[in-house]
Chains A and B, each alone.
Chain A
Amino acid sequence: MNLYELTIHEAHNLLKSREISSQELTKSVLDRVESVEPRVGAYITVAGETAMAQAELADKAIAEGNITHLTGIPLAIKDLICTKDLRTTCASKILENFVPPYDAFVIKKLKKAGAVIVGKANMDEFAMGSSTEHSGIKLTNNPWDLAYIPGGSSGGSAAAVAADMCLGSLGSDTGGSIRQPASHCGVVGMKPTYGRVSRFGLVAFASSLDQIGPLTKDVSDCAVLLNAISGYDAGDSTSVPMDVPDYTTFLEKGLKGFKIGIPKEYNALSGLDAEVSEAVKNAVMAIEGLGAECVEVSLPHTEYAVAAYYVIAPSEASSNLARYDGVKYGLRDKDKNDLIEMYRSTRSMGFGSEVKRRIIIGTYCLSAGYYDAYYRKASQVRTLIIEDFKRAFKSCDVLLSPVAPTPAFKTGEKTEDPLKMYLSDIFTLSANLAGIPGMSVPCGFSSQGLPIGLQIMGKHFNEEKMIKVAYNFEQATDFHNKKPVL
């Protein structure tokens, strides 16, 4: 077996018993990146030298008996999470040369735990997209079939895990941007509860929806990485001061007494692919077979989620992205001698078309005369969506659903029709509106061999229940052991 194929927990055991060194492991991952990156395109920046230096430090720490579950483990980081002295572009021309002077809170935690950062993963520009085709830097291909998109916006993070170009990665999820690419690439991905993981140093897209989370090769690794990044941070005023359980203690068998909710509205949605529907039904049956009880629940405002989301997210984005003005960092049109002209020219050169489209939608929805009709109305519908989930969770522990209505689509298939692309987020973005955690675990393959994911959603701060259900399902199935041939 090649070292780059290891999971985080397998590699940890080998590092701990000194059968391998982090330098061997990191070298193996870097060699793998070199050989498959031209086909996959998962990374914007590969930090080979610093990764090897971090691996050397990790080996020293291990020799001294200081080992955490992440010491010496090579990880990829989505390129909108700030890494000190390592370029962070948000896949945008406007930040193409931005080198953060500080680490995001989660990066500080990972570094303290001794992790190795392999590089920065590709994404849709400023995390706006569902296919990574809106990256201003490069395209990422799905490792299972290079003609298909990897999903998005954390497409590079998901592809890097699926193609063994890192042992695990961090992504961010504003409307499904971790779960959907995880589903399309056949890996495990989790969006934690809003406030569970600090957003300090995460470049903002829609601040009330954004959350950082792990993408991993299996559920055990998801628990390990979630342990490492969770917890209160005074640097994020929406970080929640609550104790964090050890999520790895919920990696245990047995689902007796678990109640699984199946939202009835999800079956009625048009556009659900037959193979996805079949795979999810089989997964539900398998979970029932493991001792859980299924109940039907109702989320009556489901059909309004996409509309509410595509008012709220662009509104927040239009305000957050006002900071890119060519003054403090990033691109600047130096030929303009008038301040407003300089702003306009810089922003027009630096932002790609999807970002511009969303800034315009958001600015429109927030502008005088339209605020009540759009932003306020959507925020009220958001309240109703939250109440739907509260009612549903009175009769169940977790909800099960598809992650995406179809397997990955072909590159170029939806770029000309943004609304069509937005509609594919229907199963995931409600969790962001409600702030609840959601997770994707592999549950099948299409007849074309493309992965399909099962979504598990939980109550606020109930990640451990999702992990338990996911772990039991994973142990009873074989989907996570399949690998793409590259």
Chain B
Amino acid sequence: MKITKKEIVHVANLARLDLDEESIGKFAGQIDNILEYVDMLNRVETEGVAPTSHAIFLTNAFREDKVKEHLDRNKALANAPEKEDGNFVVPKVIG
């Protein structure tokens, strides 16, 4: 067993997801299978091999730190589920 139901619930919590009992059971089985499969990576000798985070030769893309044309405030807010006075509205954060 690579992953338990309890761990599924813990990880779902980290990812801000609620799962019902049925999904917890289903995911635990499926994800356990996947992690068992992924375990084959341990057969590969990787001592001293540098990890790759992306596959082309570019490193950093720098530019001048200047204000350029940008999205209008109203347009940026247009898709917000709740907004007020030019701001995004969220539930109360500090009690």
Least CB separation from A237: chain B residue: B61
Closest 8 CB pairs of A and B: A435-B55, A379-B51, A329-B79, A332-B81, A237-B61, A380-B46, A208-B54, A101-B75
Q: How many residues of B contact A (CB 8 A)?
A: 52
Measured between C-beta atoms, what is the minimum distance from B60 to chain A in Å? 8
B38→A339 contact, CB < 8 A: no
Measured between C-beta atoms, what is the minimum distance from A231 to chain B in Å? 15
A194→B55 contact, CB < 8 A: yes
B40→A304 contact, CB < 8 A: yes
A360→B81 contact, CB < 8 A: no
B16 at the interface (CB under 8 A from A): yes
Least CB separation from B34: chain A residue: A419
Measured between C-beta atoms, what is the minimum distance from A271 to chain B in Å? 14
B15→A419 contact, CB < 8 A: no
B1 at the interface (CB under 8 A from A): no
Give chain A residues whose Cβ lies under 8 Å from the Cβ of B44: 301, 304, 377, 380-381, 384
Least CB separation from B49: chain A residue: A380
Give chain A residues whose Cβ lies under 8 Å from the Cβ of B81: 326-327, 329-332, 334
A377→B11 contact, CB < 8 A: no
Instruction: Tell me the B10-55 residues at the A interface (CB within 8 Å).
Output: 11-12, 14-19, 23, 27, 30-31, 33-35, 37-44, 46, 49-55
Of the candidates B17, B38, B78, B93, the one whose C-beta lies within 8 Å of that of A348 is B17
Max count, chain A CB within 10 A of own CB: residue among B41, B50, B55, B60: B55
Per the bound structure, the CA–CA distance linking A340 and B90 in Å amounts to 10
B34→A422 contact, CB < 8 A: yes
Of the candidates A195, A379, A422, the one whose C-beta lies within 8 Å of that of B52 is A379
B11→A367 contact, CB < 8 A: yes
Give chain B residues whose Cβ lies under 8 Å from the Cβ of A334: 81-82
A353→B23 contact, CB < 8 A: yes
A363→B11 contact, CB < 8 A: yes
A250 at the interface (CB under 8 A from B): no
